[in-house]
Structure 1
Amino acid sequence: MTELIRAAVLNSAPGKLDIERLTLAAPAADEVRVRIAYAGLCHSDLHEMDGTFPTEVPILLGHEASGVVEEVGAHVLGIEPGDHVVTCLSVFCGRCRYCTAGRPTLCENRSALSQGPNPRRLVNTAGVSVRPTAGIGAFAEQCVVHQNALAVIPSSMPLAQASILGCAVTTGYGAVVHRAQVPPGATVAVIGTGGIGIAAIQAARVCGAASIIAVDVVDGKLARAAACGASATVNARVDDPVEVVRQLTGGGVDFAFEAVGNARTVAQSVAMLAPGGTATVVGMVPANPPIEVDGSDLIFTEKTLQGCFMGSNRFRTDIHSFVSMYEQNRLDLDGMISSTVAFEDINAGFAEMASGDGTRTLVAIGADA
């Protein structure tokens, strides 16, 4: 049976979101219908809204969310109506060469699973299909997603804090633990202290890093980074971050994480490395301008520049670890949430994000879920 839901749709890009009514199809085989409680606002959504990344409209954005299962389709295993869940855009098939090798974020079938079997899963009042981003479309009262885009969480876990697990925490934490594999005693720099950067800082702290240097241009965000585990902070609007990081560490860090999505800060992440160090790009970097890195710096000092998609996660097991760490006060999720806005104020939430002041903004869609 179809459902009539409210959703925040991007109908033009650049543009703002329009709250309108959509028809949502019932879940097909392997799919689950979720009533959304909270959704996190991510910079990748903003980049589609402001035209930084081209997109086809109409599109229903939103991929980081928590909610309660309403209905399951045939062949769904381990997920039942009433379960509390979080979404993650790195849906996986579990059968391809990457999934079976333990690298599900590189799943060869992710696009097909995201698209789903029903091309008219979401339809607006004009009869036009609306594409759900990453096969999720979380800026809506309900969504229908593939079962492998969900992780079940304990009902005791607050849904507000849980909503940021599937992207911000998964991406930042996983970049440190899974992709870079930071060992105890290492020196670390994190450029960009939004939600993903703060998650990376906390991961470095849990890994036992000897020093963690946070780099940003907003003093308030740097203060939050210090509260979450950064041992030193650098305001890149005031000081040269490469110079300061090299001074603080006596020659550079072992690991640098770029969580801004900017070609210039990627180059800085490499420049602030010690010989043999590794820079990991976590932010969504546009194609233009291109990233420019000194090739001789890579060769003669054996530095490494690598990318990381969604924290190279194994999100169904990762998220359970995050919940446990939150319950043990080892992972600060409360401090990562800078504000919560009503569904009707979602554009104001994105305006706050664009200003650069917040860490992670939530939109309360069905907060009584």
Structure 2
Amino acid sequence: MVRAAVLRAQGEPLAVTDIVLPDPGPGQVRVRLVAAGVCHSDLSLANGTLRQPVPAVLGHEGAGVVESVGAGVTRVAPGDHVLLNWAPPCRECWYCLAGEPYLCERAADAASIPHATLPDGTPLYPGLGTGAFAEETVVSERATVKIPADVPLDRAAVLGCAVLTGAGAVLNTADVKPGQSVVVVGVGGVGLSVLQAARLAGASPIIAVDVRPEKEALALSMGATHFLLSDDTTAKTIRALTDTRGADVTFECVGSPAGIRTAWSAARRGGHVVVVGVGSAKAPVEFNALELYWFGRTLTGCLYGSSDPDVDVPRLLDHVQAGELDLDGLITAEITLDEVGTALADLPTNTGGRTLVRF
């Protein structure tokens, strides 16, 4: 048995308890977790914003060491260091063959299949298919990305979601060019990764927007050239900082209607608005027909940074090794597994970057 943070019902707090993991079956891999990031998507699963079969082990931004493999596994071997991929592509469906593996039809299949049990035999489901808030987990080999053994696993964990999503939004979805102006609405773990990637892409100015003044210093350290507190004048201030036009590219990293409208209003005519944050199906965003026509903006949803982890993780690690992406600065708190429930509950008022669970 291993210890895990279990969600017994959506809306209830997590409880750390023993679970029973099976040996890996054909095509499966058992991973001993070293670290896992606490992501807002985990909170959305816990509170019912996103659907999740329960009881479940949440956590999806994880890194660890392969303990054992099932029959037919060729991708990794015991002892390999890996990141967990919570949206593993099948490489066979229409989207995968069309070069959009982040939209794979089967990427979410594992989340609806039990991967472990409670000691009484009750089936447990892996949150987002990975179940990373546990000492160990069992996943499909497709859900592992091998990384070099000299990359610190406790830092590499944040690559699995925050950095792939945030940096991918900049480098893949928006393809930001040198000299373009960028706005980032919401500077949590993903937003901070957007800031870093915008700096890497040569954007200028890079304007961070958040509701919490405590985030200013962190945002500036991650690449922002300006920091604004979100209010009714935010879009006007951004236009003043961008030759009255508005920003070339804006990123919304919260998933709220207000944040999306701020990102929309802050973009120039013909600009690109990228929605990265995961919002609720019960939170409509309204646009009138005239503004959609008149401003000529592009509004794009961004899932997992439009990334292919097998391709993008090695590229991002190259930037890390070159000192162009700062994983240490992204992690602003470290906790134990017993503290993960409190960390989830505190996410709406968190003033830092990523909180990391250390095993």
1:25 Cα deviation after fit:
1.4
Q: Counterpart of 2:127 in structure 1: which amino acid?
A: T
* Structure 1 residues 173-214: Cα deviation after superposition (integer angstroms, max 9, x where no partner): 101111111111111100000010011111111111121100
Give the structure 1 partner of residue 24 of structure 2.
Answer: 27
Give the Cα separation in 1 of the matches to 2:160 and 2:358.
Answer: 16
Identify if the C-alpha distance between structure 1 residues 48 and 111 changes in structure 2 by more than 3 Å, giving closer, same or farther: closer
How many angstroms does 1:114 deviate by? 5.0
1:98, CA displacement in angstroms?
A: 1.6
- Structure 2, unpaired ranges of 5+: none
Q: Which amino acid aligns with 1:166?
A: G
- Given the alignment of the two structures, is residue 36 of structure 1 paired with residue 30 of structure 2, yes or no? no
- Residue equivalent to 2:356: 362
Of 67, 80, 83, the residue aligned with 1:83 is 80
In structure 1, distance between residues paired with 2:14 and 2:130: 16
| Shift in CA distance, 113/8, structure 1 to aligned 2, threshold 3 Å | closer
Which one-letter code corresponds to 1:245 in the other structure? I
Q: Confirm or deny: 8 A CA contact 2:60 2:127 kept in the other structure.
A: yes
Is contact 2:43-2:345 (8 Å) kept? no
Residues of 2 paired with 1:208 and 1:218: CA distance? 26
- The one-letter code matched in structure 1 to 2:236 is E
The residue aligned with 1:223 is 217
CA distance in 1, matches of 2:276, 2:315: 21
Out of 201, 204, 208, which is 1:210 matched to? 204
Q: Is the 8 A contact 2:90 2:104 kept in 1?
A: yes
Structure 1 stretch 31-40 or stretch 239-248: which is displaced more?
239-248
Between 134-143 and 346-355, the greater mean CA deviation after superposition: 346-355
Instruction: Determine the C-alpha separation between the residues in 1 that align with 2:216 and 2:49.
Output: 26
2:234 to 234, 241, 263: 241
In structure 2, give the amino acid aligned to 1:269.
Answer: A
Q: Distance in 2 between matches of 1:161 and 1:265?
A: 29
SS at match of 1:339: strand
Can you list the C-alpha shifts for 1:281-330, whole angstroms capped at 9, x where unaligned? 00001122201123322211211111010001011121111212111111
Q: Unaligned 5+ residue runs, structure 1?
A: none
* 1:104 alignment partner in structure 2: 101
Range that drifts further, 94-103 or 305-314: 94-103
How many angstroms does 1:219 deviate by? Answer: 2.1
1:214-265 per-position Cα deviation (integer Å, ceiling 9, x unaligned): 000122322111111111110115x622121111112200100000110111
Q: Aligned AA for 1:36? A: L
Q: Does 1:125 align with 2:122?
A: no
Q: Using the alignment, how far apart are the partners of 1:335 and 1:353 within structure 2?
A: 18
Tell me, yes or no, if structure 1 residue 140 matches structure 2 residue 134: yes
CA shift for structure 1 position 41: 0.3
Distance 1:274 1:290 in 2: 23
What secondary structure, in the 3-state scheme, does the structure 2 residue paired with 1:331 have?
Answer: coil
SS in 2 for 1:317: helix
Report if aligned partners of 2:4, 2:337 keep a CA contact under 8 Å in 1: no
| Cα separation, 2, equivalents of 1:16 and 1:339 | 20
Deviations 1:333-353, CA, capped at 9 Å, x for gaps? 111101000111112322342
3-state SS of paired residue (2:117): strand
Paired with 1:139 and 1:216, the residues of 2 have a C-alpha distance of: 28
**TM-score, normalization: structure 1?**
0.93
Partner of 2:183, secondary structure, is strand
Q: Secondary structure at the match of 1:105?
A: helix
Q: Which residue of 1 aligns with 2:151?
A: 157
TM-score relative to the length of structure 2: 0.96
Query: Aligned partners of 1:114 and 1:10: how far apart in 2?
Result: 14
Aligned to 1:179: 173
**Residue type matched to 2:152 in 1?**
P
Separation in structure 2 between the aligned mates of residue 317 and residue 178 of structure 1, nearest angstrom: 12
8 Å Cα contact 1:218-1:356 kept in structure 2 = no
Alignment root-mean-square deviation, CA: 1.5
Pick from 249, 254, 261 the counterpart of residue 260 of structure 1: 254
Residue matched to 1:340 = 334
CA contact (8 A) 1:349 1:363 kept: no
Task: Work out the CA distance in 1 between the residues paired with 2:188 and 2:332.
Answer: 10
In structure 1, the residue matched to 2:282 is 288
| 1:99-134 Cα shifts (integer Å, max 9, x gaps) | 12221111122233555xxx4431112321111112
Distance 1:324 1:128 in 2: 43
- Aligned mates of 2:144, 2:111 — CA distance in 1: 12
**Post-superposition offset of 1:13:** 2.2
Alignment of 1:267-282 (within 5 A): 267-282=261-276
Report how many aligned residue pairs link the two structures. Answer: 358
Q: Contact 2:75 / 2:141 at 8 angstroms: preserved in 1? A: no
Amino acid at match of 2:183: A
**The one of 39, 45, 49 aligned to 2:46:** 49
